Amino acid sequence: MFDSLVIVVAILIPCFIAVPEPSRFTEEEAKRYLEVACQEIAHVYNEVNRAEWEYSTSLSEGSFDYKMSVNTKLAEKRKQVWINLSKFPWKTFKDADLRRQCYLLSFPGQAILPKNDREKLEVAINYMEYLYGTATISHKENKNLTMFLEPDLTGKFKASKDIEELKYYWAKWHSKIGKKVNTIFTDYVHLSNQAARLNGFINNAEFWIHQYEEPATKFEKEMEHLWTQLEPLYKQLHAYVRKKLFEIHGNTILSRTGPIPAHLLAATPHTYVRATHTSFFYSGDITTQFWDNLYEITVPYKKKTTTDVTPQLIEQKYTPLKMFKISEEFFLSLNLSAMTKSFWINSIIEKPKHRKIICDSTAWDFCDGEDYRIKLCTKVEMGDLFAVHHEMGHIQYYMQYRHQPLPFRSAPNPGFQEAVGELISLSVMSLKHLRKIGLLQDQPDDPNVTINNLFRIALDRIAFLPYTYLIDLWRWGVFNNSITPDNYNENFWKLRLKYQGVGPSVTRYERDFDPGSEYSIISDLSYIRYFVGTILHFQFHRALCIAAGQYDPSNPTMYPLHDCDIYQSTKAGNLLRKMLQMGNSKHWSIALKIITGKSKLDAGPLLEYFQPLMKWLEVNNAETGELIGWHYGDRYMTAV
């Protein structure tokens, strides 16, 4: 059920078809070669995406077989183009744009593997995804009833208040899927490292990191530094949430000074469904990377006006189409582009009534300059209003760089693509914007309502951060062999305890292989992009808010960053468009500097945004003597 995610992510990685070998290897010949190759690969890439779309919207066996065949065809052609380009002395070319195009094409990725090994790797990934999507566990009360992850288990974690029931389902699911994929994952690691070495890297961790165009060691240190800046805010949030859970469940369920058992972080019904980054996040979050489902029982000021506008959306007779039109109008107000005619014809914006589809939220570029689509089973609720803006942000990015040569039709690093949609949603979820579009009543500013709104956003974006970091920390260790198969699970939980302050719900063993229950791990999707993307979208937000006259760093009380709404600011939109149109034609630091004036990742804007909440958390936690951090011992550690 998750295969469409693979191609949507792959949209960001240009791939090229072979043309007849050049007879001469001059700079001019290279230009002609790339021009023809780009035209032909665009046609093949369109074919690949049509096959992926057909499968994800029909789920027929025939469409799956066709999808697999065209993806194999694409991999073979990528490898041939790499072979042809390697004959050119492109590093000596005078044309900087041409050099960069050749550089971007000089890493064919997994396509470089011999055919048999490449097929083994594809089978390993697809089979792990299949096992993940089809795994079932028995119902707690009725053992004859089987339950799938979606919608059965996610529904349980969204709606159930029975802590013992949730512990049962958490343990059963993690043990079931982990044991199924453990051996396959080890083969996947071996083949991925083999592909990385053929691409010129020591291991697959270095290959993944090269997308950020920095040495691996430097990049890892930069990520560590960013986390040290963010950790104090996360720990304050963790301490407050743990306190509220302790007040409800008592010391028989969790310790006031320890990690939070995983099943408690996904145990409460809620109406706010987050705008998903990719197709594998659900409102009943069994991975506990998002905490927004805890809002109703942890909200700082329960008696204050709610900022959940779902009732207003329903009362004002919003439809999925109206939500999409509202989103398009936001981008138009920034002087950005309207959706194409084919977008409105071909997109799926609500769940079909008479056929099954993969109901994830994805944005598609069919590589022809006209055909862009969103697939989203939209519900009339606040979370999906944000999701629509997020996915349309991806489409806007695709459209803005469509004039570029094909190698440049992607974001300059994976985090940029995620940042654009999340940037827009920061304005959309501001109280100012919700009032402006008539979803909240005009009322005097209330600092308590502001704290509630910031807290809601923090449960989504701040709670998410350590998970996005530790998932790839673990995989970097796996790929460089500092974490070995005999201690996969032990090290996974050590990282979750260290960075997230989350412990297993029951005693864990190596054979459980809990990393296998994380979809990004078994689907070969690097996760650090979401960590980088979160840092970036707050940097973008701050800079565009200044351009829009919505934020004054010298007077943040009068014009607070969290209340900024760039809607209807053509100054902000023109600045954003300038960066989007670059695509991947320059190093990401140059693209970042266009908007922010700075060329480095910086957690400062995120901390500025949440400063009122940070102050409130510090005071509130101090008043009740909360431990900022967590102690843990054998009770929480994996049994090996």
For 231-244, how does the pLDDT look when each residue is reduced to its tens digit (9 = 90+)?
999 999 999 999 99
Q: Which residues are annotated as a binding site for Zn(2+)?
A: 390, 394, 418
Q: What's the pLDDT at 305?
A: 74
pLDDT in tens, 561-595: 999 999 999 999 999 999 999 999 999 999 999 99
Percent of the chain predicted with pLDDT > 70? 91
pLDDT at 147 over 80: no
Q: What's the pLDDT at 56?
A: 83
Residue type, 1: M
Q: What's the pLDDT at 557?
A: 86
Nearest by Cα to 213 from 580, 11, 222, 228: 222
Provide the sign of the torsion angle of the four alpha carbons 581, 583, 587, 588, taken in this order.
positive
Under 8 Å between Cβ of 147 and 172: no
> Could you check whether the bond before residue 151 is cis, i.e. omega within 30 degrees of 0?
yes
Residue type, 513: F
In angstroms, the CA 388 to CA 394 distance is 10
In angstroms, the CA 242 to CA 298 distance is 9
Distances (CA, A) of 241 to 149, 297, 300, 628: 26, 9, 10, 11
Secondary structure (H, E, C), 322-346: HHHHHHHHHHHHCCCCCCCHHHHHH
Under 8 Å between Cβ of 349 and 410: no
Q: Which residues are annotated as a binding site for chloride?
A: 212, 529
Tokens of residue 149, six digits: 């992850």
20-34, 316-330, 440-454: least confident range: 20-34
Q: Which residues are annotated as a binding site?
A: 212, 390, 394, 418, 529
pLDDT in tens, 197-229: 999 999 999 999 999 999 999 999 999 999 999
Rounded to an integer, the average pLDDT of 433-441 is: 94
pLDDT at 290 over 80: no
Bin 371: left if φ > 0, else alpha if -120 < ψ < 50, else beta: beta
Secondary structure (H, E, C), 421-479: HHHHHHHHCCHHHHHHCCCCCCCCCCHHHHHHHHHHHHHHHCCCHHHHHHHHHHHHHHH
Locate the domains of the chain by residue range. 3-127, 128-189+215-301+463-528, 310-342+380-452+529-602
Tokens of residue 372, six digits: 């862009």
pLDDT at 22 over 90: no
Q: Which residues contact residue 270 at a Cβ distance below 8 angstroms, ignoring those fewer than 6 apart?
A: 158, 283, 292, 293, 294, 295, 296
pLDDT at 174 over 90: no
Tokens of residue 135, six digits: 């795994």
Please tell me which residue, 160 or 390, carries the higher pLDDT value: 390
pLDDT in tens, 250-275: 998 899 999 999 888 864 333 222 23
Residue type, 294: L
pTM: 0.90
In angstroms, the CA 85 to CA 103 distance is 10
Please tell me which residue, 36 or 268, carries the higher pLDDT value: 36
pLDDT at 340 over 80: yes
In angstroms, the CA 353 to CA 591 distance is 43
Please give the DSSP secondary-structure letter assigned to residue 603: S
Distances (CA, A) of 402 to 4, 84, 223, 335, 372: 22, 25, 31, 17, 11
Q: Which residues are catalytic?
A: 391
Task: Band the pLDDT of 6: cuts 50, 70, 90.
Answer: very low
Mean pLDDT of the chain: 88
State the maximum Cα–Cα separation within the chain, in Å, rounded to a whole number. 77
**Parallel/antiparallel/unpaired status of strands 260-261 and 502-503:** parallel
In angstroms, the CA 317 to CA 294 distance is 28
Rounded to an integer, the average pLDDT of 112-132 is: 90
